[in-house]
Amino acid sequence: QVHLVESGGASVQAGGSLRLACQVSGFTYSTYSLGWFRQAPGREREGVAAIDNDGATSYADSVKGRFTVSADTDKNILYLQMNSLKSEDTAMYYCAARVATPAHMMLATADSDFGFWGQGTQVTVSS
């Protein structure tokens, strides 16, 4: 059974940095690809970043150049390094897994295609 647990969310000032982590268990990286999503109050959930089992990555335009997704396959941890945070980055952040898919396709697909989700970690950015 695939299991995902996020951590690292916090309240920070605009311009600050955070690193989110997602402990992953129950699957092999050759089988699944991983992504980060976020949902702010009153808004739809949106894809933020994705990494496939070849290590290729993709990002939403709103976070390009500020966020970096990476995976430590030895420790089974997915990371999201977030720099130059803005108030509009405030949201609940989720990691999710789906069957192996090229990174450039992942954020363009429906988030319902991701079959496994964590419980989320809150990021609040104050200006």
Cβ(43)–Cβ(37) under 8 Å? no
Query: Pick the residue with more confidence: 30 or 64?
Result: 64
Instruction: Supply the pLDDT for residue 1.
Output: 83
Instruction: Supply the pLDDT for residue 80.
Output: 98
pLDDT at 30 exceeding the cut of 80: no
Instruction: Supply the pLDDT for residue 109.
Output: 81
Alpha-carbon torsion (117, 40, 85, 13), positive or negative = negative
pLDDT tier at 49 (50, 70, 90 boundaries)?
Answer: very high
- What does the mean pLDDT of the chain come to? 94
Instruction: Supply the pLDDT for residue 82.
Output: 98
pLDDT at 12 exceeding the cut of 80: yes
Instruction: Supply the pLDDT for residue 73.
Output: 87
In this structure, the dihedral spanned by the alpha carbons of residues 127, 36, 49 and 45, taken in order and rounded to 10 degrees, is -70
- Average of pLDDT values for 61-90? 96
**Both tokens assigned to 123:** 């990021």
Query: Pick the residue with more confidence: 108 or 95?
Result: 95
| Closest to 13 in 3D by CA, of 66, 80, 87, 63 | 87
Decide: residue 114, CB within 10 A, 0-12 exposed, 13-18 middle, 19+ buried. buried
| Exposure on the CB side of residue 120, measured as CA atoms within 13 A | 12
